[in-house]
Every structure is written in C-alpha cells, then in structure tokens.
Amino acid sequence: MRDPSPESIYKAFGDKTRLRILIALRESPRCVTELEQILASPQSTVSRHLAILRQAGLVEVDRDGPWSIYRLPRHTEPLRAALLATLPLVQDRIGAVRAIEAGS
C-alpha cells in the first residue's frame, strides 16, 4: 500500500463515527459485527467507514476464515496518539467557532 495522503488522513479523522471506530479498535482488534454492535450502525455504514480508515492507513485487516478482523497498525501509534490527544482542544474550538457564527 502506498503512503496515504495528508488529505486522506484528515478526512479519516474528520468524522465522529470513524473516531469511535478508532477508539474501539484501540481496545482490541474487532470484526465488523462487533463494530456494528458498538456503533449501533448497519454493516454497510461500518464497512464504508472502515474502507476510508484503511485508505488512510489507520486500520489494517487480517482474515480469519470468513471473518475480517480490523486492528490498528503498530507503526501509526505515535500519529494516532498525537491526533487523539488533540481532540478535546479541537472540539472546544469548534464549539467556540459555532458560538461566534450563531451570534453573527
């Protein structure tokens, strides 16, 4: 797989469902069925988000018979940790921007 573009990485981190998937996978590798239950989302939605995360190089898949087991690649741990650590700051700033826009 070629190196993902910065745009694909930011796109992957730009969705709440994909962030929830990354958080769930941080705990342990999971199959799509487990992620469906955690997210309370249909298989098609989970699979679409997993495809975006795979294109960004943020998840990998292993085959175990009929199962596809998704996990976080070890080589991306420093990047993931840094980006996940910034989430509270980003969420605060988004809230501040929305408040300013609402007052305009």
User: Structure tokens of 79?
Assistant: 């990047």
Predicted pLDDT of residue 76? 67
pLDDT in tens, 48-68: 999 999 988 889 999 989 999
**Helix 43-55 / helix 16-27 crossing angle, nearest 10 deg:** 80
In terms of pTM, does the model score above 0.85?
no
Predicted pLDDT of residue 101? 83
CATH 1.10.10.10 given to domain 6-73: yes
Closest CA to 2 of 57, 52, 76, 72: 57
Q: What percentage of the chain exceeds 90 in pLDDT? A: 42
Predicted pLDDT of residue 69? 96
CA distances for 103 relative to 47, 94, 96, 99, 100, angstroms: 39, 14, 11, 6, 5
